[in-house]
Amino acid sequence: MALAANLGRRPLRLAAMALSAVLVWFGTGLEPLWPLLWFAPLPILLVALNGPAASAYLLAGCAWLLGSLNMWQYFHGVLRAPFFVLAEVFIGPSLIFAAAVLLFRALVRRGYPWLALLSFPAMWVVFEYTVNISSPHGTAVSLSYSQLKFLPLLQLASVTGPWGITFVLFLFSASIAISFFLWFKDHARAVRILGAGVGAIVLVLVFGTVRLLFPSEGTTVRVGLIASDEPENLDVADDGAPTMRLLQDYASNIEHLAARGAKVIVLPEKLGVVVRPEAGRMDSLLQGLADKYDLSIIVGVIEVSPPLKFNQARIYSPRMPVFTYDKHHLLPPFESKLKPGVALTLLPHQSSTWGVAICKDMDFTPLSREYGTAQIGLMIVPAWDFNVDRIWHGHIALMRGVESGFSIARAAKQGYLTVSDNRGRVIAESRSDSGPFVTLLADVREVHDKTFYILAGDWFAWVAVATLAATLIFVFLERPTQKASQAP
């Protein structure tokens, strides 16, 4: 009991703030250490339960703000985000985390620990989901991406999407903090809460482990990926001769992979410019290779169809007309002058259907669910990252494959060439800057896997919304009771 009381003292409160900030700093960001985020809220929750409300709010907000500054150089230096965007990115989440801690504190101290156990993770899920449906960046802010290497937990995305993973992260710290607070006053209740929280997490991990042990059975396809980060190849090549010279360089690598059995070859996003209807030379070159080697080639370009411009993938399949896909989700401000696409592109294959998306499209769950509903087995993704985000943004797509049941072949400039399966496992991967022209060849299953998330969508996020709404209504209607007056 004395130890719990000591947690309310100022030096320990500041130490708790610093510890949470450090755990957030290293547990999130561009190269997160996934175990750390499980414990990041815990020091703040412990001191919040044993100190003044104002102090709890301030410490929580500062801890999250300081920890999230690990992304400052990325948003400010790389993406050149304006001030109001920086405020949204850094201050907004800090205020939400502080509010979640304050609600958690109020519920526990008033004698409603079960509500606190659910409302704390629910508030963060509601925040992430609100950003997802209102922001041009979709799910990119979700803490669930810190857990991409923790494959048993990642399988939860097949049921709940990213929202269940975030919920579990915060549930863990909440259950420990509540149990510690109640241990000497109500030992039985403390044990029940700890058992419920940890037990739920164990069930999730057992489900994930079993799912990993029994992958979907089906045919495999050999995929080839190519990218070049040579300085002369990074910018979008001008229309005409510059684009053709670059494609000729890629063509020799296409032939090399075709000779090794590749049946689909993916090139990066925005290699060059194509002005309609003058696409004949490009189409003739790549269609000729597709016909000669009996393979499909997907290449990213900027298509100009005056007065409109599109970020487009052009698809060449043996003895077939050229298919196209226009990127749906454009990255502001870099792509603000381009017109977004609205349609899926489905490529029937011998044993499955393939789909096409471009880079940032994979940050959004609805588009991937549409492809999942169409039962694709392989998602083909031309992409272009920013070097420093090759791990974080380059791997966001892994979760879409788990959610919607498909393998992924993603080829990015300034990023990774990555092939992954529908369990989120990376089958093969190479850095795009590891040679003048980097190639990757891998066999991956092209079978579609049915998931509950395809069927039910963001049901878990709406459960979190309902949970938080009911809790807030209860808090506003509930009057202080004897339980509250007895709280320390």
Question: Which are the contacts of 411, defined by CB distance < 8 A and separation ≥ 6?
Answer: 225, 226, 227, 266, 267, 268, 381, 382, 383, 417, 432
Taking Cα atoms as reference points, which of 366, 249, 354, 269 lies closest to residue 310? 269
Average pLDDT over residues 92-105: 98
Angle between helices 83-109 and 113-134 (to 10 degrees): 160
Segment 142-173, tens digit of pLDDT: 999 999 999 999 999 999 999 999 999 999 99
- pLDDT score of 215: 79
Reading phi first (left if > 0) and then psi (alpha if -120 to 50, else beta), residue 80 is in left
What is the distance between the alpha carbons of residues 326 and 344, in angstroms, rounded to a whole number?
A: 9
**Range of lowest pLDDT (79-83, 119-123, 338-342):** 79-83
Q: How far is CA 314 from CA 2, 27, 399, in A?
A: 68, 38, 25
Segment 364-418, tens digit of pLDDT: 999 999 999 999 999 999 999 999 999 999 999 999 999 999 999 999 999 999 9
- pLDDT score of 228: 97
- pLDDT score of 107: 97
- pLDDT score of 218: 83
What is the distance between the alpha carbons of residues 268 and 235, in angstroms, rounded to a whole number?
A: 12
- Any idea which residue has 């993916």 for tokens? 266
pLDDT band at 486 (very low <50, low <70, confident <90, very high): very low
What is the distance between the alpha carbons of residues 316 and 109, in angstroms, rounded to a whole number?
A: 64
Segment 123-136, tens digit of pLDDT: 999 999 999 999 99
Q: Kindly give the residue spans of alpha helices, DSSP state H, lying in 322-444.
A: 365-373, 392-404
Return the bridge partners of 174, or none. none
- pLDDT score of 280: 82
Positive/negative CA dihedral, 42, 45, 50, 54: positive
- For the cut 80, the answer to whether the pLDDT of residue 319 exceeds it is yes
For strand 272-275 and strand 220-227, is the pairing parallel, antiparallel, or unpaired? unpaired
Task: Read off the pTM.
Answer: 0.93
What is the distance between the alpha carbons of residues 96 and 100, in angstroms, rounded to a whole number?
A: 6
- For the cut 50, the answer to whether the pLDDT of residue 476 exceeds it is yes
Amino acid identity at 217? E
Cα-based angle 290, 312, 416 (whole degrees, multiple of 5): 80
CATH architecture for segment(s) 220-448: 4-Layer Sandwich (3.60)
- For the cut 80, the answer to whether the pLDDT of residue 473 exceeds it is yes
Segment 238-289, tens digit of pLDDT: 998 999 999 999 999 999 999 999 999 999 999 999 997 777 889 999 999 9
